[in-house]
Amino acid sequence: MFLVLLGLPGAGKGTQAAFLTERLGVAHVTTGELFRENIRRGTELGEQARPYVESGRLVPDEITIAMLLKRLEEPDCQRGCLLDGFPRTLAQARALDDALARRGQGIDLAIYLRVSEEELVRRLSGRWNCPTCGAVYHETNAPPKVPGVCDRDGSRLYQREDDRPEVVRRRLEVNMAQLRELLDYYQAQGKLREVDGEQPVEKVREELLSLLATTQER
Ligand code: AP5
């Protein structure tokens, strides 16, 4: 199954993807994390992406598409994966469809996690991440047992460079315009489903699972 999770920054894509990929047994492909990993390792790709990621702008399509298509070639993506943070532009959506079509495959569903702007700002300003396992916390909604320490592996948590208030505002603006076009694109293909992402994490999870169960039955 090839799934796309759509939503503005902070909508809960990463939070839900961590659970869904485990449940479905498919790879979690997240372009944001691929960029951050390359930036941490100081690769050429990381250096190209750094100014965009740290200032909240989209990395140019040619860089992003090339990176994603390479990732899709890996063995764990041959029969399906969950895409989180890609596509973000129409050019990316078309490139993805073309690449999958060449393999005789296609996107099964594009799920939009809808969350209001005020809630997104609140979520991003309180987010903490684990550098080791990628777990996502929130200082009030989903706090770790010990402040600043990952429950799973004891690593010291960090706040993302692009979660600073001025960068958050730019990320929301940049992504909103593109998101509308993507929603129309998948709607026209009859693949778009919407989930109210403002509900508690567990409730969002239940709705996603029931959507997926209906799709798998077909
Ligand atoms: P990326 O890493 O993809 O960031 P994003 O889309 O901005 O999404 P986030 O990771 O910020 O949010 P999320 O929806 O995963 O929310 P989360 O689950 O963490 O991209 C980063 C950058 O990389 C981009 O700005 C761009 O520069 C570049 N990039 C990436 N992909 C690209 C592409 N395709 N093209 C070009 N450039 C690209 O949750 C957020 C917080 O809310 C957490 O604290 C969590 O605990 C909490 N929370 C989650 N769900 C709930 C809930 N239901 N109720 C209450 N709290 C909740």
CA of 212 to the centre of ligand 1 (A): 21
* Per-residue pLDDT at 164: 85
Tens digits of per-residue pLDDT, 45-57?
999 999 999 999 9
- In the CATH hierarchy, which top-level class contains the domain 2-26+79-115+172-217? alpha beta
Q: Which residue has the higher pLDDT, 11 or 141?
A: 11
Tens digits of per-residue pLDDT, 13-25?
999 998 999 999 9
Contact in structure between 64 and 159 (CB atoms under 8 Å): no
Say if ligand 1 is within 6 A of residue 207 CB: no
pTM of the model: 0.92
Closest ligand 1 atom to the C-alpha of 128?
A: 44
pLDDT band at 72 (very low <50, low <70, confident <90, very high): very high
* Per-residue pLDDT at 144: 96
* Per-residue pLDDT at 170: 86
Q: Does the pLDDT of residue 182 top 90, yes or no?
A: yes
Q: Which residue has the higher pLDDT, 161 or 44?
A: 44
* Per-residue pLDDT at 177: 86
Closest by Cα among 188, 180, 200, 23 to 112: 180
From 64, 141, 167, 195, mutation site for ligand 1 pocket: most ligand atoms within 8 A of C-beta: 141
Q: How far apart are CA 92 and CA 215, in angstroms?
A: 24
Tens digits of per-residue pLDDT, 127-172?
999 988 888 999 988 999 999 999 999 999 999 888 988 888 888 9
Tens digits of per-residue pLDDT, 198-218?
999 999 999 999 999 888 776
